Structure 1
């Protein structure tokens, strides 16, 4: 990434991403004991993080599928749309079964990511999109692994499995664009988070607002991922 836009994206990325910084004061504290296993604060936060990731990566995928200047970028956009639509359906199912309230908007930081990329154009959009998503999903993958190996709740485990598949697919198609700035992406992945919690926490939903649903493209040729039952 180069020029002023690189500085803008860098400042948005630095130094935290949702899914890495723990916003709970006691992540191991059990907050419910459903039949599917004890539910901790970390489990709850993970379900919210999965939802929030989809709420910003899905519209970026829509933008990439229309604005990308190469077939590989457009393909990456299609994978983001389809992957997050399937994952969102699973996330909403799990949240409903576990009594977890989901946001209808991504975090302020993630909203900034979307706005920056919407204002971007041409090849610079392709590069920035690939690098930004590669950095974000790279860090999210670490969070998924942590939750998958520590949770005692079977529904959260199943959601982590599907999230793992989705994020790995995202990483693969982003890397196939040949446009990822790995130096920038890896720097963001390894930089300790320090942003205030309110910047990386999605706002609670408005009581009168219907739940936002991420849907698959009507003309998609991609196979949906198996969903959490």
Structure 2
């Protein structure tokens, strides 16, 4: 009997998740599902400090979101919040197993308790009841998933290690699923989420640069031209004066003939 229970246990758990969240059983035909099986997982490639930090953060996420989901099932009066908490908690158990397997291959030591911020969030949830709990639970988890989402994308795009690359792709699918579940509560405070930074100012294209008017040439001083003109005028005046003086002298010196 125990053997059959071990075999059927994971199947029953998966069916329960589908029943709690039927949308997970319906794939959108036009949207591809990443073929994770095509990725290698041999712990090959340089392991960077960012890679190690990423694996640690995935582990930390499970360490607080699993108990948070358990509290959602116990403390919330809303069946939808209870369902969301159960789904996210169970999925983090699966993700945590993937993370510990990857860390073992990569020889990364993982933490065994949430960090200070995460313990504070769990404390807020323990002190809240009913709708107040629901709001804290949804807002804290939605903000946390939104923060790690771009970090996962950076690791997936830039890591040199194949095991980290595979874990990042898997974690990305978990995070997108959890964000969608949390948003299905219809109580996410989107105004409290960090805004997307504005895009950088576009650089000028060659066409745009060519269309710009050419800069005006630097002003050239006219002083040398003026001085040259004045000098030429003075020289010409002196020459003309000299010619006039010679002509007047010749006329004044003309000899007078007495027989005229």
TM range (shorter): 0.5 to 0.7
CA distance change for structure 1 residues 126 and 173 in 2, over 3 Å: closer, same or farther? Answer: same
CA drift at 1:186: 3.3
Aligned position for 2:185: 177
SS in 2 for 1:186: coil
Which residue of the partner structure matches residue 204 of structure 1? Answer: none
Aligned partners of 1:58 and 1:80 also within 8 Å? yes
The runs of at least 4 consecutive aligned structure 1 residues that moved more than 3 Å come to: none
Q: Deviations over 1:51-101 (max 9, x none)?
A: 001101111011012212212111110121111101000000000011000
* More moved, 159-168 vs 86-95: 159-168
Unaligned 5+ runs, structure 1: 1-33, 191-229
- Aligned to 2:74, which of 66, 77, 81? 66
Query: 1:138: which partner in 2?
Result: 146
| Structure 1 equivalent of residue 47 of structure 2 | 39
2:194 aligned to which of 161, 182, 186: 186
Aligned to 1:211: none
CA distance in 2, matches of 1:79, 1:158: 22
RMSD of aligned C-alpha atoms?
Answer: 1.5
User: Is the alpha carbon distance of 1:35 and 1:167 closer, same or farther for their aligned partners in structure 2, counting shifts above 3 Å?
Assistant: closer
What residue number does 1:50 align with? Answer: 58
Cα distance in structure 1, aligned partners of 2:162 and 2:87: 27
Contact preservation (8 Å) 2:72, 2:82: yes
Aligned equivalents of 1:88, 1:149: Cα separation in 2: 22
Gaps of 5+ in 2: 1-41, 198-260
Q: Which has the higher contact order (CA 8 A, sep 6+)?
A: 1
Match of 2:110 among 98, 102, 113: 102
Q: How many residues are treated as equivalent by the alignment? A: 156
TM-score, scaled to structure 1: 0.65
The answer for the alignment partner of 1:154 in structure 2 is 162
Q: Distance in 1 between matches of 2:64 and 2:101?
A: 19
Q: CA deviation at 1:132?
A: 1.2
**Structure-2 separation of matches of 1:158 and 1:134:** 24
State the match for 1:127 in structure 2: 135
Deviation per CA, 1:27-67, whole angstroms, max 9, x where unpaired? xxxxxxx8511100000010000000110111101101221
Structure 1 35/117 Cα, relative in aligned 2: closer, same or farther at 3 Å?
closer
Partner of 2:212: none
The question of whether the paired residues in 1 share the 8 Å contact of 2:43 and 2:162 is answered with no
- Following superposition, the deviation at residue 133 of structure 1 comes to 0.7
